[in-house]
Amino acid sequence: MNPTMFQCGRFDFTSRQRPLVMGILNVTPDSFSDGGQHDTLDAARRRADQMVAEGADIIDIGGESTRPGSPRVPLQQELDRVLPVVEALRDCGAVLSVDTYKPDVMRAVLRTGADMINDIWGFRQPGAVEAVAAPEAGRAALCVMHMQGDPETMQKDPHYDDVVGEVHDFLQAQVETLQAAGVDRARIVLDPGFGFGKTSAHNLALLNRLPACAPAGYPILVGMSRKSMLGAVTGRDAAGRLHGSLAAALIAVERGAAVVRVHDVAATVDVLRVSWAVRQENAKADY
């Protein structure tokens, strides 16, 4: 396993061999797993510091819940939630990613110091490509995610003739759109969008055939932590899905994922360290 890596604002992962861990920091009152736990600046800072200490490479800050059925958040409210957190965490020692699809939020957080934009809409909103292709965006990484529908409706009978092929073709088209706008391919990361307009069967097919979900040569980010696809398999609610989340993260990395987006950083890092040590046949291998 040798995942393709990428440029990421102040950080350069282009020569990194091991997979990266992205810790989730939702500063929202209504996210499906941790809503309301980190929605003050002090709580967000404590949680970010904890995840960095546990081994997170990236902190992904979200100011709008994207759980199935969630409503959209007004622009100013999202800015009020995320900008102070980006400012406070600028020197935390990890990549700062912001989970947003709004071009105005993208511009604001990039000016404030974000290293990465994680867009569930895959930069399809009007003005999004222009926002991240502008010179002011610098070398910020761009995560392009696939989603069928929108968060309010995406889980209402999603249908595909070939889920792996259709996700691949969408990601390929968005890569071409970004590159046509002048975005360096080294900035691009691709996410099949587990749980975003997919049934459990669709999600399992995507994980099983992960390399085929995206055009070759681009790093793949996966986010399955505590999601309902794992509940469908284990029968557990979100709070009880740690073991399923660890299994999914390990399978994804074994299939070539470059980044895993998780709630449980310490446990995920331990699992990936053991996997990495086995591959290197060296218990002291630098993870």
Return phi, psi of residue 141, to 5°. -75, 150
| Structural domains of the chain, with CATH | 7-280 (3.20.20.20)
Q: What is the 3-state secondary structure (H, E, C) of 6-32?
A: CEECCEECCCCCCCEEEEEEECCCCCC
DSSP 143-170: EEE--SS-TTTTTSS---SSHHHHHHHH
Candidate list 187, 198, 226, 261, residue with the active-site label: 261
Active site includes 261? yes
Q: Which residues pair with 118 in a beta bridge?
A: 99, 143
**pLDDT, tens digit, 9 for 90 and up, residues 136-190:** 999 999 999 999 988 888 888 899 999 999 999 999 999 999 999 999 999 999 9
Query: Looking at 227, 236, 241, 284, which residue is catalytic?
Result: 227
Low-confidence ranges of the chain (pLDDT < 50): 1-2, 31-32, 35
- The Cβ-side half-sphere exposure at 204, using a 13 Å CA radius, reads 10
- What does the pLDDT read at residue 36? 52
pLDDT for the residue numbered 1: 44
The pLDDT of residue 166: 98
- Looking at residue 201, its pLDDT comes to 96
DSSP state of 72: P
pLDDT value for 161: 97
The helix (H) or strand (E) run that includes residue 47 is helix 41-54
Q: Which residues pair with 221 in a beta bridge?
A: 259
